[in-house]
């Protein structure tokens, strides 16, 4: 159990975030969407060129290309009629339908690019040293968000073969739900009725705070603590069939307790009625205008610094092991009256720990 401040100081960064994250659909005249026109003309030409061939593969490719083209000009891929039909089904308070339809509709697959990945109901696993501090005795259930968006490991890797060494004690901080997903930063909790949303807020607060704490461990070790407090924010979304709300979360160091953090949030988009365009576009701007352009470079710098440190630690350990091994062999050689220098450089004698 933790105290939650009912009236925290507002985030200095909130105004800036609201200025770059918009829910306004871009207005475009028909004459400006030449790429979509080209996609359509190509499909029509295929009909003329291959009139006897099976149509399915052509329709499937056209559908994919057209949705991708919509996404590239800032429009959601999901059709408004499909979206509204799913919302109508969810009015009967079916939480599972909401999770499997609207939650996924809001995340446009084409906007994920190679930099983002997502996971549904992924159980987090943290080492005890990186768990959020608690005054409760015993184990606390770790986060399991309905949906979490993260960065891909590939988007951070430094080496060409993606074999960057991760500090073992921080591995659960970079990928708490396993796999190659790194630093989750956007969390969804879905409930079937308005009365249940308080539980969703609490779950998101837990996920967001643990995510911030994980990033903090990495950035402190890379000597970027000040940048963490200044620039790192994560977001959370709660919704049901009628209402949607978005919060932005941050960490602040407590002045009275050495090294202790407190986790705060601001209402980025207060709970209220939403449309398909509003929901989709807000998620798009969080991904593209904040996570991709601002948060990812910060975490990239941290990742590069720490894998470089870890690489150096491993090399030093290997060098020390080789030195000890060589010294041991010389000592044994002298004791036998013979300096056994011929074997000191043998590859079979090198330690790879």
3-state SS assignment for residue 30: helix
Residue 117 has what pLDDT? 92
Q: Per-block average pLDDT, block size 10, for the chain (353 residues)?
A: 60 87 79 91 94 93 91 86 84 77 84 88 89 71 92 85 82 90 95 81 94 95 94 94 92 78 91 88 91 96 92 82 63 45 29 34
Backbone angles phi, psi at 240, to 5 degrees: -130, -160
Spatial distance between the Cα atoms of 202 and 204, rounded to a whole number of angstroms: 5
Residue 342 has what pLDDT? 33
- Which contiguous run of DSSP H or E holds residue 118? strand 116-120
Beta strands in 128-287 (DSSP E): 147-152, 181-190, 234-239, 243-253, 261-273
- Which of 19, 14, 11 shows the shortest CA–CA distance to 263? 11
Q: Are 232 and 298 in contact (CB under 8 A)?
A: yes
Q: What angle do CA 219, 221, 222 make, to 5 degrees?
A: 65
Spatial distance between the Cα atoms of 205 and 123, rounded to a whole number of angstroms: 16
Residue 129 has what pLDDT? 84
Residue 238 has what pLDDT? 94
Residue 336 has what pLDDT? 47
- Which of 242, 238, 243, 260 shows the shortest CA–CA distance to 251? 260
Q: Which residues pair with 182 in a beta bridge?
A: 151
How many Å is the Cα radius of gyration of the chain?
26
Q: Which residues pair with 273 in a beta bridge?
A: 243
Residue 314 has what pLDDT? 85
pTM value surpassing 0.75: yes
Residue 345 has what pLDDT? 25
Residue 327 has what pLDDT? 61
Helix pair 80-90, 276-285: axis angle to 10 deg: 110
Residue 339 has what pLDDT? 39
What is the 3 state secondary structure string of 249-299?
EEEEECCCCCCCEEEEEEEEEEEEECCHHHHHHHHHHHHHHHHHHHHHHHH
Listed by start position, the domains of the chain span: 14-21+78-309
What is the pairing mode between strands 116-120 and 234-239? unpaired
Spatial distance between the Cα atoms of 248 and 34, rounded to a whole number of angstroms: 37
In which residue are the tokens 């768990």 written?
131
Displacement of CA 286 from its chain's centroid (Å): 11
């Amino acid at each position: 159990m933790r105290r939650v401040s009912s009236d925290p100081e507002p985030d200095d960064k909130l105004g800036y975030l609201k200025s770059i994250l918009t829910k306004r659909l871009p207005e475009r005249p028909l004459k400006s969407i030449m790429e979509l026109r080209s996609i359509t003309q190509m499909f029509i030409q295929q009909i003329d060129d291959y009139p006897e061939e099976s149509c399915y593969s052509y329709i499937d490719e056209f559908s994919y290309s057209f949705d991708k083209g919509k996404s590239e000009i800032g429009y959601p891929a999901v059709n408004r009629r499909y979206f509204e039909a799913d919302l109508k089904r969810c009015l009967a308070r079916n939480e599972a339908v909401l999770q499997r339809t609207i939650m996924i509709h809001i995340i446009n697959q084409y906007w994920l690019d190679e930099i983002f990945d997502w996971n549904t109901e992924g159980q987090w696993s943290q080492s005890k040293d990186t768990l959020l501090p608690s005054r409760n005795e015993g184990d606390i259930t770790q986060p399991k968000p309905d949906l979490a968006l993260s960065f891909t490991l590939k988007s951070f890797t430094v080496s060409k073969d993606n074999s960057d060494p991760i500090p073992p004690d921080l591995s659960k901080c970079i990928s708490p739900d396993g796999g190659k997903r790194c630093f989750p930063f956007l969390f969804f909790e879905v409930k079937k009725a308005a009365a249940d949303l308080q539980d969703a807020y609490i779950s998101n607060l837990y996920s967001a705070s643990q995510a911030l704490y994980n990033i903090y461990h990495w950035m402190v070790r890379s000597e970027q603590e000040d940048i963490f407090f200044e620039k790192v924010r994560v977001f959370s979304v709660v919704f049901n069939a009628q209402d949607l709300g978005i919060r932005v979360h941050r960490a602040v160091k407590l002045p009275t307790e050495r090294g202790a953090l407190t986790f705060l949030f601001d209402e980025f988009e207060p709970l209220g009625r939403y449309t398909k365009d509003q929901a989709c576009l807000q998620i798009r701007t969080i991904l593209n205008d904040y996570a991709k352009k601002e948060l990812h470079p910060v975490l990239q710098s941290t990742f590069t610094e720490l894998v470089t440190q870890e690489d150096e630690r491993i090399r030093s350990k290997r060098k020390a092991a080789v030195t000890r091994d060589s010294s041991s062999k010389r000592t044994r050689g002298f004791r036998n009256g013979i300096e056994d220098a011929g074997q000191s450089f043998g590859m079979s004698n090198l330690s790879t720990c």
